[in-house]
Structure 1
Amino acid sequence: MIIPNKAFVTERLINWSLSDTVTRVVIRLGVAYGSDLDKVKEVLLQAAHEHPKVMPEPAPAVFFTTFGASTLDHELRLYVRELRDRSYTVDELNRTIDRLCRENDINIAFNQLEVHLRNEKGDEVTELKREVKGTILPRRSAN
């Protein structure tokens, strides 16, 4: 928007952006590769539609934004009427999304790194982790 200098001096200017308390909220979520993307969208929209502070119009929307290094990245975009409700709404939605993802077998992804170790001979050395107890099993010989 361009406003001529003369308008600043001769006219009354109103900053309408400060009079509107409606604010947009964006919640980002990365899910594991192989996830059912239609189910992810359904769960995110369900969380938004069920929250009393989320405005029905403009309607909440979900976008699959990118293929991340370890995640399929989504954004849930919605509006709340009052700026003071923003943090409360984000907190409640995050908790609801976490619960709904667990109930629907959707894995919220996290960065993963695969490390391959080789000994001086160039043989690969492997250590197995026992996930349940978090203990490391004794190293197996590469021979």
Structure 2
Amino acid sequence: MNGLWCTVKKINIRTTVVETFENAVIMIPNSDLVSTQLTNWTKNNPSLRRDILVGVAYGSDTEKVSQTLARVADEHLNVLKSPSAQVLFSAFGSSSLDFILRVWIDDIDHTIRATSELRFAIDEAFRKEGIEIAFPQMDIHFKTAPALADHLAKKLGNN
């Protein structure tokens, strides 16, 4: 509710007691629950979809990236087999080829740990496969810069 993630612990006549993932206990007036938008992430089941964003260097083998991300997801114990993980090539970014690894985590309580473990595993797998995780880069091209060329020539001793 309003960006607050919590678990309902007790429903009273006038208030609902919730507990945040940081173990804070909050009493919410029931009137707020009926007048404010509320998202129930686990009403039907405890699983939760998460997207992990990954940017790789331009020139990377996109098929290898896709296969590696899918393998990492498939090997994680908390990632559900059904629905299966998806690898999406989402964009040609300014400094990277952008992918989304979309997974379903078996239980909302495992979400933060599992997504962190997936990121560690992706980093390790990319290192083994020689896939470079992108970082912001900028190339500067000078069409004409005679003063700069003269300055550099003097600094380098190429008079």
CA contact (8 A) 1:123 1:142 kept: no
Structure 1: unaligned runs, 5 residues or longer: 1-7, 9-14, 127-138
Give the equivalent residue in structure 2 for 1:84.
109
CA contact (8 A) 2:41 2:48 kept: no
Say what the alpha-carbon RMSD is for the aligned residues.
2.6
Letter in 2 for 1:61: Q
CA distance in 2, matches of 1:124, 1:113: 24
Change (3 A) 1:71 1:125: farther
Change (3 A) 1:142 1:23: farther
CA distance in 1, matches of 2:150, 2:114: 49
What is the SS of the residue equivalent to 1:89? helix
Change (3 A) 1:83 1:142: farther
CA contact (8 A) 2:69 2:87 kept: yes
Say yes or no: does 1:58 pair with 2:74: no
TM-score (norm 2): 0.65
What is the SS of the residue equivalent to 2:156? coil
Q: Deviation per CA, 1:89-119, whole angstroms, max 9, x where unpaired?
A: 0111000000000000000001012346897
CA distance in 2, matches of 1:100, 1:52: 16
Structure 2: unaligned runs, 5 residues or longer: 1-33
CA distance in 2, matches of 1:82, 1:94: 18
What is the SS of the residue equivalent to 2:88? strand
Give the equivalent residue in structure 1 for 2:72.
47
Letter in 1 for 2:127: R
Q: CA deviation at 1:140?
A: 2.6
Give the equivalent residue in structure 2 for 1:100.
125
CA contact (8 A) 1:116 1:124 kept: no
Alignment length, in residue pairs? Answer: 118
Letter in 2 for 1:140: L
TM-score (norm 1): 0.72
Change (3 A) 1:124 1:69: farther
CA distance in 2, matches of 1:125, 1:56: 62
Correspondence 1:1-143 to 2 at 5 A: 17-19=41-43, 20-115=45-140, 121-123=147-149, 140-141=156-157, 143=159
